[in-house]
Amino acid sequence: MRSSFKALVATVAGLALAAAGCGSDDTGAAVEADTERPTVVVTTNILGDVVENLVGDAFDVVTIMPVGADPHDFQASAQQVAQIGEADVLIVNGGGFEEGLLDVIEAAEGDGVLVFEALSAVDTIEFGESGRGTDEHDDEHDREDADPHFWTDPGRMALAAEAIAVFLVANVDGVDADALDASADAYVAELEALDTEVAEALAPIGEDRRVLVTNHDALGYFADRYDFEVAGTVIPSGSTTDGTSARELAELTEVIRDEGVLAIFAETTVSDELAQTLADEVGDEIAVVDLYTGSLGESGSDAASYVTMMRTNAQRIVDALAG
């Protein structure tokens, strides 16, 4: 293991020693048997699914965050810290999105792990900049100020996927560039087709109904791409780890009534208690609808992959707003 990771692992390893002491050696044997391919480690399960589809058989892909994890507050285990430190390539979302992993990512990069930020491949928006009337964007935004939730726009995800493939071919020795390019081209085409599919699926929603209220500020890129307005958020922040106040909720209640909002879009990774409380306060049978924003769904669900997740979110938004 790289030297700078010894200290990081030591801080959490003691908690895992007792449980690991009686475990089998199967994991180690599997790792030793599968060392011919380089390993790319990916932080979020959304990006993990994209990378797996992108690279085909060229890499072993390890995804750190399990299904259902909230990326804003996820903390890595000792084993996961070690996996990050030993990666050939680490793919991260960027923009401070993985709040609980920032020190681990920084240490890995400082220790020589190749790190690629997917956010760096797209033109970004800032929080509060999304929605109708914001057609021009500055791709030179300070990444610390940029909204990191770019994957809610499949077109931007296609750009990020293409950039990841280019990065891997350029920086990892021994990769079959032709095979990786072919796999990447096919998947990028699928993402571009998904973008068109989502736009067509949303067509029944009239302009006057394209108003979103969300749990936190996570749908800015979706709104920007598909001509919606984000009228407000239950948590007035780009992170689920922040809070809100009674005054802010009262103000949002008035916004919802004034805008004639039909639904509050909650999230599968965090409690919808605040959203439900707000809906009860507003009355008028306003719906609370769960979307997959920070994590895929379980295997076999209607959001088990990035592509199906985006289709499901689009359909749920249509069902709530089209009338």
Domains of the chain, start order? 4-13+35-198 (3.40.50.1980), 204-321 (3.40.50.1980)
Helical segments of 115-176, H only: 154-171
Residue-averaged pLDDT of the chain: 85
Cα–Cα distance measured from residue 290 to residue 274, given in angstroms and rounded to the nearest whole number: 13
Nearest alpha carbon to residue 44 among 61, 66, 28: 66
266 with 242: CB under 8 angstroms? no
Going edge to edge, which strands form the sheet with 287-291? 229-233, 211-214, 263-267, 287-291
User: How many C-beta atoms surround the C-beta of residue 247 within 10 A?
Assistant: 8
- What are the pLDDT digits (tens) for 189-247? 999 999 999 999 999 999 999 999 988 788 999 999 999 999 888 876 555 545 567 78
The residue that leads in pLDDT, 174 or 35, is 174
Pairing of strands 287-291, 60-63: unpaired
Mean pLDDT of 252-277: 86
Residue 76: what residue type?
A
pLDDT band at 277 (very low <50, low <70, confident <90, very high): confident
User: How many C-beta atoms surround the C-beta of residue 106 within 10 A?
Assistant: 12
Cα–Cα distance measured from residue 141 to residue 126, given in angstroms and rounded to the nearest whole number: 8
Cα–Cα distance measured from residue 69 to residue 211, given in angstroms and rounded to the nearest whole number: 27
- What are the pLDDT digits (tens) for 67-118? 999 898 899 999 999 999 999 999 999 999 999 999 999 999 999 999 999 9
- What are the pLDDT digits (tens) for 24-36? 444 444 444 445 7
> The whole model's pTM is what?
0.83
Q: Is the per-residue pLDDT at 134 higher than 90?
A: no
Q: For residue 99, what are its two tokens?
A: 């709040």
Cα–Cα distance measured from residue 284 to residue 306, given in angstroms and rounded to the nearest whole number: 33
Distance of CA 9 to the CA centre of its chain: 25
The residue that leads in pLDDT, 152 or 246, is 152
**Radius of gyration from C-alpha coordinates of the chain:** 21
